């Protein structure tokens, strides 16, 4: 099976107006600009997109707006992780119905063995692309490496930034692997990761692409904006995107 995509994708911020209302049209316009700058996928309603603050209808509106706006050959991924398999399965079904090409499912919090959870979500996904998501900062403990081969998924996003774990994943998991941490971009490209799905690509798409393609200088140059993007997350990245593209910096989380 060919990869869902190769190269660098963006974990898209969600834009809100001054009153905190969803601005799906502005978010879709930002996605258009980023795909024009080389992004090979767009993740909607992920951790960076403040998914926990979005209603089901808002998620669907975002997915539909972005899918309608960007080129057909650029897949739209939807974040559909939840505390339970039933909730994640429902969000996954809704995401596909709204136009998503694939679902990215964060592992459940406080679950050491998420196999049953992913089995439940995979039933909802059917034969459509489904990525597991390891990000212990957001949902501890994440996905044990030894469990990965048993998961009914087509790929994995790993935002841990753990270089040793990435090597272990490449050793045991023969499906798509996407790095989610800016700090291991150049390494990821060099050792054979399928691609990357990145927060910082909202503000630094060109240098993210260069770093993944092996440009060590670009990797070093990303260090300062990476630090800035993490300050008061998601405020830091939203401020960087506002400076670059002139969009709203309003965030729901932390407000």
Element (H, E) at 157: strand 155-158
Pick the catalytic residue from 96, 133, 178, 238.
133
User: Residue 186 in 3-state DSSP?
Assistant: helix
End-to-end alpha-carbon separation of the chain, Å? 43
Q: How far is CA 6 from the centre of its chain?
A: 14
* Distance (Å, whole) CA 155 – CA 102: 10
Q: How far is CA 1 from the centre of its chain?
A: 21
Let me know: does 199 contact 182? Beta carbons within 8 Å. Answer: yes
Number of H helices, E strands in the chain: 10, 8
In 30-161 the beta strands, taken as DSSP E runs, fall at 42-44, 76-79, 102-106, 130-134, 155-158
Token pair, residue 55, equals 């209603």
Pick the catalytic residue from 96, 157, 178, 238.
157
157 belongs to the catalytic site: yes
* Distance (Å, whole) CA 236 – CA 225: 9
Token pair, residue 80, equals 């559909």
* Distance (Å, whole) CA 79 – CA 94: 11
Farthest CA pair distance, the chain: 48
**Residue tagged 């270089």 (tokens):** 163
Token pair, residue 67, equals 């899918």
Positions marked catalytic: 133, 157
């Amino acid at each position: 099976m060919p990869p869902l995509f190769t190269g660098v994708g963006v974990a898209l911020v969600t834009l809100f107006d001054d009153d905190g209302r969803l601005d799906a049209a502005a978010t879709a316009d930002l996605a258009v600009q980023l795909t024009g700058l080389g992004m090979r996928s767009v993740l909607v309603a992920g951790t960076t997109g403040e998914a926990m603050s979005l209603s089901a209808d808002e998620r669907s509106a975002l997915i539909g707006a972005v899918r309608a706006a960007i080129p057909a050959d650029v897949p739209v991924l939807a974040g559909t992780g939840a505390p339970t398999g039933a909730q994640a399965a429902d969000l996954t079904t809704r995401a596909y119905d709204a136009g998503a090409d694939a679902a990215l499912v964060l592992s459940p919090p406080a679950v050491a063995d998420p196999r049953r959870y992913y089995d439940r979500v995979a039933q909802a996904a059917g034969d459509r692309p489904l990525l597991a998501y390891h990000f212990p900062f957001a949902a501890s403990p994440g996905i044990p490496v030894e469990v990965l081969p048993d998961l009914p998924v087509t790929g994995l996003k790993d935002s841990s930034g753990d270089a040793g774990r990435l090597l272990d994943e490449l050793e045991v998991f023969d499906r798509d692997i996407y790095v989610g941490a800016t700090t291991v971009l150049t390494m990821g490209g060099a050792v054979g990761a399928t691609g990357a799905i990145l927060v910082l690509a909202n503000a630094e798409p060109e240098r993210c692409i260069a770093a993944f393609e092996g440009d060590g200088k670009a990797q070093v140059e990303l260090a300062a904006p990476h630090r800035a993007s993490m300050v008061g997350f998601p405020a830091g990245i939203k401020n960087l995107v506002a400076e670059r593209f002139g969009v709203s910096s309003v965030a729901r989380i932390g407000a």
